[in-house]
Structure 1
């Protein structure tokens, strides 16, 4: 694992800078203590990172769970009661892992996964534009279209134009220029610029800019535009930031409903993120999904026990890890230790980092996820790929992550049904001979009740005085619904003077009396 330290260490620093504001922002959007987001980030990095089988996935608090957390804290009667649901949710995830439920993630179409990545990339860009200009009224972690402050994604952008902070914008532009120049020019010149990443330089310059412009009303940066990490006065105040679950409410039905909700949503987000990060991974590693559920469950149990938010694997941090050259799980683990060390030893230094500089880092991450060339590529792949992809992207932008994925999956299923309807059979029509039409109908490899409409339509179109050859040699599965259609058609065929010949691997039968009897004699696997 340590042989890739030269790649993993700089990548972990970038992930740290991306994760820090997200941990705080998601906690704020969730109505939870700010420190709870940092706890989840630390546990997600160190514990889940160590147990996970993913080499490049990074876990932590997820924006997709913010609305659930916000509602649950109120309905369950307080944050300590909610923590019981987090612990139980982790236990349920362990059960999912032991039951091998991780396979669910593989049943989502590639077009939906690509749409999820692109939609998240666009959301990242849209959400960071206000922060880029120094307008920080909305929590960083709020990734839904309708926000907790009553605004929406686009109104927030327009509002930011009326409240531009010159100092924050100046250092954001400088930071963005450094990131682009570092990535496009310097990183290709020498290995030094690959070890020392552009985001680290941008953040360092942001801190220096804040220090040297402090007190300057025109180009200085106000404290509300900086990272805000809780600063404990002593050891007792630091320990006082931890919360512990109130297990006295463990028998409450609402607690268990919330626990199942957390487990289901967190598991689904994790499995989708695993599928997405494996697609982004240049080394094409395959993550064991059941082991991932076990790792996530363990992480949620520990996080809930000490006051942290629910944890999932998250695409923003994972993609930042991949784009920064991370190769092994060591990157995720180190980022967790960096979070821990920083909140304990240097919280005041962290609170000098301008949010606008972090926004410039996330803008690059978002662009790499949502490159315009991908839209062209998906369009050229045809409507069966482009429509589910587009619906997923729009759903994520205008509703939220899970709605977007659900709508994309629904459209994908409709596409499958349409193609299944169209591809149930093949017709070959020959010229008349001996006064009869010669028509061959070849059934597909799998014919189910989805194909009933298409086959019935073709049977009704057959003209009288037809010689129909029904070829089932390639058919490996024939639904009983289709067999019943064939039986019904046989009786009607005699009235229309239609002769039927059935061709199978076992030979040919003229005008079979019972298709049910015939197909029941076929081998079980066919």
Structure 2
């Protein structure tokens, strides 16, 4: 039960889990792959072919564990632009040429993997990457509006052309097609939002595709509005890359280079970001190897292009489906490919009856998840500086293309950092600073953005292990690489103290995220880590990962409390607790299953102190999880640590329904004893059978507060309500009542006496 599943031959013993997960992934992958190919301007079968190639190649090359690879919507706009560019506006002519670009992209990725280029991804500002994904979402939506409405006119070559074409598209609405498309679009949003489990037993993309097929047959939809599939996949479904044409036409070489650079950049960025996000929801907390994954994607892209398929990258949506279905190793990719082959051979006629409008509805939903309003609100919460870079990057991508937009976004990041570090012109006007001195200062500040941030490294021995104290200056995305390289060369068990010194001027959002990941990694590995010096930096917003500047005067400024903070502060005063309104990153010292999954984990409005003889920590907790990177889940959580005189409870979990079942991999599930009246649907999980009597001690608490999730780990208790967000004071009192159940009977008796 405590074993972490491995890939390769050893992983085959988990075939029961991976086979079932592979089937569920295939049911989601089929409509998505068809849609991604259509959005890319390629034949629909190309998407399925590339998903099959990915499943047959990735498990044998490794690099990840539960990540499912295949064609991705994020590459569709780049592929479509590449086909139009190489084909001179003709998609049919551009398709064999873009296959050459995909093959060359794969070769470049293999080369980059061998030179360990995965680490260079930290150069890219996080906000620019997220803006790229948001822009891709907008582009997907704009491109799919015409087929949703029934407009079969040629695809617009640019985003501005797509916008300009919308009024004309509205005049070409086909009522029957629009009815199917609108209904499918509504169901995509409704089924993905509903909390009724029975309504999501069939994956929403598959359900929408099947419904579209039925409506197309019932309403007699004409053939031009349906997916086109070859009668024989092996004879008419595989297009060979046009290597000869590219070699004989030198005028294509510059355009080919642009397409290859664009695909390599976007493919690499999205691949590395996805595997990092999926690792954080892996129930076994395994860590993927970015360079091995990059090499695997390179080989997959070469193989896919030779078979007429699209670019291949790890997919967040399919990976989440795999985890939720119980997949344990990369063999789930392989079984997914086998099922897709079966579908392709036996159900081609059915696939060709799916309306394009239904596929457009699926893609519009995928695009919306990339650019929905919560994407913007999350960025704004991090800081107005990041919001400006975010909007500039999106606008640049929509007005130019993906490659130029990313470069403009990075330039905007440099200009923003330079502006923040530039002294006020008032200092020149008032004579406090000479004009020449101000120019020199601007030059030094700009240079510091790219200079090695490491000032000093002091090594010694503490508690029998090597200890390194690293002093840093300004730390931003553009100078993270030397710091990262230094850390890679240190002993893996070394203790670290990172000091952000007052000689530094700024720590940007990307650097803050890097430091937080460093803290989490050290905690997982069980080695001491301390981060000091940030208390002297002014935090742009209350977000734990917002940028910080060195400004002692602003640090001392007292912030106004929000209404929620005032409520928590009043609760703290009435119970004799300490209160801290600041937002900080959550570090899971006890190893709670609930706290160790997900991303962007933050705590704010933290109450600490002694309550009824126990040490408590009560706080508002938020996190995100792949593939919904921008959906913030919020709950009020209480962590209780009993005093030394109380016998601690053994590790166990009481969960309402199947909550977190897929993540409780080191626990054993028990049926609730028939003679014990647990609330309906409650599940009991323990790490050893002797823990069951301890679970019974919590019975009274869960009866009084049905719906609570209780987890005991390393003697500490975590409790919250999954069906609620932030608790009011009365409900917080209810959370803390778990203390009565946590005390051993003997201690309870002596206390009452």
Mark yes or no: TM-score above 0.5: yes
**Which structure has the larger Rg over C-alpha atoms?**
1
Return closer, same or farther for 1:56/1:109 CA change in 2, 3 Å cut-off: same
Deviation at 1:72, TM superposition (A): 4.3
1: distance between equivalents of 2:273 and 2:250?
35
3-state DSSP of counterpart to 1:125: helix
3-state DSSP of counterpart to 1:58: strand
* Alignment partner, residue 56 of structure 1: 67
Deviations 1:384-438 (A, max 9, x none): 2111111122223333322322221111122222334459xxxxxxxxxxxxxxx
Contact persistence 1:90–1:301 (CA under 8 A): yes
1:169 maps onto 2:185 in alignment: no
Return closer, same or farther for 1:381/1:168 CA change in 2, 3 Å cut-off: same
3-state DSSP of counterpart to 1:311: coil
1:278-289 to 2 correspondence within 5 Å? 278=275, 281=278, 283-284=280-281, 287-289=288-290
1:198 maps onto 2:207 in alignment: no
* Alignment partner, residue 523 of structure 1: none
Return closer, same or farther for 1:338/1:4 CA change in 2, 3 Å cut-off: closer
Moved more, 263-272 or 102-111: 263-272
Return closer, same or farther for 1:343/1:276 CA change in 2, 3 Å cut-off: same
Contact persistence 2:83–2:94 (CA under 8 A): no
1:371 maps onto 2:372 in alignment: yes
Q: Which runs of 5+ in 2 are unaligned?
A: 1-13, 425-440, 449-470, 475-502, 504-753
Deviation at 1:175, TM superposition (A): 2.0
1:98 maps onto 2:100 in alignment: no
Deviation at 1:20, TM superposition (A): 0.7
1:18 maps onto 2:32 in alignment: yes
Deviation at 1:171, TM superposition (A): 1.9
1:218-367 to 2 correspondence within 5 Å? 221-232=221-232, 237-238=235-236, 241-243=238-240, 263-278=260-275, 281=278, 283-284=280-281, 287-306=288-307, 308-309=308-309, 311-313=311-313, 318-321=315-318, 324=321, 326=323, 329=330, 333=334, 336-367=337-368
2: distance between equivalents of 1:118 and 1:302?
29
Return closer, same or farther for 1:203/1:392 CA change in 2, 3 Å cut-off: same
Deviation at 1:177, TM superposition (A): 3.4
Deviations 1:150-206 (A, max 9, x none): xx1213322221111111222223223333343333xx334x544421222221121
Moved more, 259-268 or 111-120: 259-268
* Alignment partner, residue 189 of structure 1: 196
* Alignment partner, residue 159 of structure 1: 168
TM-score by length of 1: 0.65
2: distance between equivalents of 1:68 and 1:132?
23
* Alignment partner, residue 137 of structure 1: 153
Moved more, 159-168 or 174-183: 174-183
Deviation at 1:48, TM superposition (A): 4.2
Q: RMSD of aligned C-alpha atoms?
A: 4.2
1:114 maps onto 2:109 in alignment: no
Contact persistence 1:262–1:310 (CA under 8 A): no
Return closer, same or farther for 1:109/1:58 CA change in 2, 3 Å cut-off: same
Indicate which of 192, 203, 213 corresponds to 1:207: 213
Deviation at 1:289, TM superposition (A): 2.6
Deviations 1:19-67 (A, max 9, x none): 1132244244xxxx77656544432443246535344353337431444
Deviation at 1:326, TM superposition (A): 4.9
Counting matched residue pairs gives: 412
Deviation at 1:334, TM superposition (A): 5.0
3-state DSSP of counterpart to 2:159: coil
Deviations 1:289-338 (A, max 9, x none): 322331122123323434x2562427xxx244256565665565555445
Deviation at 1:452, TM superposition (A): 8.2
1: distance between equivalents of 2:46 and 2:375?
37
3-state DSSP of counterpart to 1:137: coil
Contact persistence 1:280–1:322 (CA under 8 A): no
Please identify which structure carries the higher helix content: 1
Contact persistence 1:178–1:202 (CA under 8 A): yes
Deviations 1:188-241 (A, max 9, x none): 334x54442122222112111111222xxxxxx222111112223x97x448x4
Return closer, same or farther for 1:282/1:209 CA change in 2, 3 Å cut-off: farther
Deviations 1:97-134 (A, max 9, x none): 11111222221111112212222222222222222222
Contact persistence 1:81–1:246 (CA under 8 A): yes
1: distance between equivalents of 2:95 and 2:339?
26
2: distance between equivalents of 1:143 and 1:291?
35
